[in-house]
A and B are shown apart, each in its own frame.
Chain A
């Protein structure tokens, strides 16, 4: 199917759903969110492939159904990569990753997924094809709809194509030091204030881990520091620990300097991400129950709820796209 015809196909499907008052659930390869019975599947998994890629422009344009693994392989051939280290849940697509706004350990150092988004092609809830942003690293014409839709989980529009900034592939080395959680949090904050070229800082199972890219002073000449495998970053991203019966996994977003939180089993993203295993919800403003992955927190203040409801009317006035 040519790109244009496949896009019109989606647009027709959405227009028909408006007529039929049929709820649609947008999905990629369903690696993260299963499709519910109450909605008809609108799958982008066949809408796959790289639309344009010029390594020297540091920009790739890709169809939303493209697998992360496929995209990363093409970039790697040109010594480039996605700078936000998206988690791989198994056949994950770039569109699904964008919809859930998922980013890996490098976020405090290189930015999150939204920081790499330059433009989108999308179809709104009336079946209208549109483009926002573009392929330029700098673009301030109009509101930044492309970035705004990061994390919208398919509730506002079907995003069919994305333009992303890419970065050179760097050689990275991981080091670790055994220490308690509280000390690790303090140390990772201190280190992030130095010129060491860090790309990751985490605490896991009694060890403080840090990752460094490119040329840097020798680290393991100190007794307590050992070089270790880069594999720990994959363990933490996506983080899928085995839990004791009755326990739940909670994802907390905090300030990097937040002291150690009870029942934490991992600290990631330079201290800004805490993973807590407990029966009860931790008492904290930014907590997500990660069991049912990507469940919304639903803790927005009324004024923010009103804005989100208003935007729903702008993008999807007939409420065709399922809210997740």
Chain B
């Protein structure tokens, strides 16, 4: 009996997809440039069925790729030809919301926004808000340690998860809880991209909705002035709930799309939101506006009511689709850099843009240094995707070179495997592979993602060349 037959026998037949047509939606995730039909897709309805899928795949030595809503941007759930996609979208129940304890226990297929919706009647919400929050699943959020526009103040997924129930490849249950003693395995599971276990239940922190929020919009004549202004806001002890910066091209695109009155002549636009108690917000909004003015903002708007605040956000929130209108395809990058190097990095990206002949729009989570350059290309032009990828890799290399990282919140997936070679030397990569083997000795959980093999890195010429020594001299080269 092959693995598909075994799965069909164990689960409801409708829960196993294997035809070309039925599998098509699972060929890719949010990184649609990469596609592969899996052997089959299993859509279990409860934890027992998930266990059965794992046991069957283990017995058939078949790789398992766990998938939530498929909104990931790094190809983390790209199928392998011989793999089973373990889709957890039917595990979509909010098991319990405890308003007094301010926690929610949810299944992995629950969408991010559903948690906040369920908590709203208690005046609570779930803080991490990736821009895909209407669609992305909590299980996927944990796997990627997703962020959002509010994470400078409210943290990433890892800061808001208090317990995880995980299955290993044998279908055995392991619970990781913040109350556990010793090393922090709960932290390790966050952002592990489906390589260490299958998350089947999650306990989340809920926090009270802020009493008030106000948005300050400021226009600057230069990127540098804008970055310096951000620096001074943070230096003076204000931690804004949101701090978003856009470059000239993004401002224009967002304004054309949303028509919210962004100053299209500005070189850089800053959106700074403060939240908290009414008293605190009043004080902070004024201080922010003053600091930004002192630092060269030539136009300032402060939202005077909720309607205005939400409207001002609309441009930024739609920046990606807005940019998308200018180009058949765009490629979203996710590097993180020290804020002090922003002006330099944007200048270098401009040079690269000229070199490759591809336009770029930049949006920047200025509070935490997370840069999202959007490279515009046309997939129908032969070779343009490849050029775009090269361009993207050069941007990530630039991020590492200024002391940053190749991914702030999207994850490595398949997309950034080569860039990982630039960020991490051999010993660290060995440790990563060691950790993987401890959790998944069979190597069947999402193999080939997140951590590049040492051979892959050795084959790349842009590896660390230290003291003129060839990296990985012990490895064969093909």
Q: Interface residues, chain A, CB within 8 Å of chain B? A: 54-58, 78-80, 101, 111-112, 114-115, 124, 128-132, 134-145, 147-153, 156, 167-170, 186, 189-190, 192-197, 214-217, 253-257, 285-286, 288, 296-297, 299-301, 303-304, 307-308, 310-311, 313-315
Contacts and interface: CB of A to CB of B under 8 A. Distances in A.
Contact of A111 (B155, B231, B420, B432): B155
A153 to B, nearest CB: 7
B405 to A, nearest CB: 4
Interface stretch (B28-36, B173-181, B261-269): B173-181
A140 B180 CA distance: 23
Contacts of A169: 237
B438 A215 contact: no
A152 B136 CA distance: 33
A135 B156 contact: no
B183 A311 contact: yes
A55 B450 contact: no
Interface string B431-452: 1101101110000000000110
Given A145-B431, A300-B181, A310 B124 contact: no
Given A144-B158, A314-B438, A56 B234 contact: yes
B7 to A, nearest CB: 25
A140 B411 contact: yes
Contacts of A144: 145, 158, 187-188, 190-191
Given A134-B403, A311-B435, A195 B190 contact: no
**8 shortest A-B CB distances, which residue pairs?**
A310-B438, A314-B434, A168-B237, A147-B187, A138-B408, A215-B279, A137-B368, A56-B231
Given A115-B155, A216-B277, A138 B147 contact: yes
16 contacts: A54-B338, A56-B231, A134-B404, A134-B405, A140-B144, A145-B435, A151-B182, A194-B208, A195-B276, A215-B276, A215-B282, A288-B181, A303-B172, A304-B174, A308-B185, A311-B435
B122 interface: yes
A257 B96 CA distance: 15
A140 B280 contact: no
B102 interface: yes
A135 B338 contact: yes
Interface string B169-206: 00011111011111111011011100010000000000
B218 interface: no
B237 A79 contact: yes
A56 B101 contact: no
Nearest to B187: A147
Contacts of B188: 143-145, 147-148
A80 B236 CA distance: 10
B435 A314 contact: yes
B304 to A, nearest CB: 20
A169 B239 CA distance: 11
Contact of A307 (B185, B192, B237, B411): B185
Given A111-B155, A152-B182, A193-B102, A303 B174 contact: yes
B310 interface: no
Given A190-B100, A311-B438, A138 B368 contact: yes
Nearest to B410: A140
Given A57-B339, A215-B279, A297-B181, A139 B407 contact: yes
Given A168-B238, A215-B283, A136 B336 contact: yes
Contacts of A153: 182
A143 B435 contact: yes
Contacts of A135: 338, 403
Contacts of B283: 215
Given A215-B280, A311-B183, A311-B438, A257 B368 contact: no
B179 A253 contact: yes
A300 B175 CA distance: 10
A52 B420 CA distance: 24
A139 B122 contact: no
A196 B277 CA distance: 7
Nearest to B411: A140
A152 B122 CA distance: 38
Nearest to A146: B187
A57 B181 CA distance: 31
A114 B237 contact: no
B404 A296 contact: no
A147 B184 contact: yes
Nearest to B192: A143
Interface in B249-264: none
Interface string B369-405: 1100000000000000000000000000000000111
Nearest to A128: B427
Contacts of A58: 234
